[in-house]
Every structure is written in structure tokens, then in C-alpha cells.
Amino acid sequence: MKRVLLGILLAAGLAAPLTAGDLEPRQGWEVFPTEKSYADLVAAVKAAVKANGMGVVTEAGPTEAAAGRGITIPGNRVIGVFNNEFAVEILNLSTAAMIEAPIRIYVTENEDGTAMLSYKAPSFVFAPYVPEGGADLSGLAAELDVRFAAIAQDAIK
């Protein structure tokens, strides 16, 4: 009897939709809740990236692919952002640091239908490479912090 009950409970738990819930702030991250929809925020991020002299280098997300498989999940998009000027300067300071480029902006759909913008601060991302790249790398990361903050502010308004 206990095995049957355990089996039923496990099956019920596995049948329930899996969702991790809304994104929470964490160390090194900048997190911005918005009133925008997921689609509107994705479009706003792309426009803000361009307006702030950066480029969308990569884009990935499981939402559309999951829908193609008949699975509905909340909107989820990772947008890789960088530009060649920063890439060349950082590469001159630390070959290893370039593995962190592009810096990713994360757009997630909340349970209430609004969307959130988040990213790891560039100074946080590049911090492990400062012993190699020195003060110049710290300075570039600080410049990127300002640029990403401007992208975020433009996208969420």
C-alpha cells in the first residue's frame, strides 16, 4: 500500500508543470522588474543595445523551441551584447578574459505576465581576470558597467 501511495504521489509531482518562478537578485547581478511584456522587453533591449553603441552578438532561448515540441514555458531569452572596440581592447589586456564576451542580458517572463531584465555586471564578470589585465581591464569593465546600466534604463522605461 505504501508503494502504491508513493507511486501516485511521485506521478502527480512529475505531471505538474515545472517552473522555477520569478528571478531573484543575486550577487554580481543587476535585476530590473518591469511592467512590459516579454516580447516588448526583448524588442526594447535590442533597440537599447543599438542606441548605446553596442551590438547584439548572440541570441538564444528555449521558449520557441519548446513550443515547437508542444511544451509551454515562460518567455526566456539570453541576448549576448558586445562591440569590437571593447573586444580588441580587452583582448590586448587578457586573452583569457575574452571568454566572457559577449556579456549576456537575460530577459525572463514572470508568472504575472510581466518581464524582467537582468545581467551580470561587467565588472563582476571580468573581476577574475584583473590580476592579469590590471587597472586597464578594471577601467574597461567599469565603462561597460555604465554602458550596460544605460541599456537597462533605456529598455525598461
Q: Which domains are present in the chain?
A: 28-156 (3.30.310.70)
Q: What local confidence, expressed as pLDDT, does residue 1 receive?
A: 54
- How many other β-carbons are positioned within 10 Å of the β-carbon of residue 146? 11
Which residues of the chain form beta strands (DSSP E)?
A: 29-37, 55-60, 76-82, 103-109, 114-120
Higher pLDDT among residues 8 and 48, named by residue = 48
Q: What local confidence, expressed as pLDDT, does residue 19 receive?
A: 53
Pinpoint the alpha helices (H) of 16-129.
38-51, 63-68, 84-93, 122-126
The tens digit of pLDDT for each residue in 119-156 reads: 999 999 999 999 999 999 999 999 999 999 999 999 99
Q: What is the pTM of this model?
A: 0.85
Q: What does each C-alpha distance from 9 to 4, 12, 19, 21, 91 come to in angstroms?
A: 9, 5, 18, 22, 54
90: left (phi over 0), alpha (psi -120 to 50) or beta: alpha
Mean pLDDT of 49-67: 96
Q: What local confidence, expressed as pLDDT, does residue 92 receive?
A: 97
Higher pLDDT among residues 82 and 1, named by residue = 82
At 67, the pLDDT band (50, 70, 90 cuts) reads very high
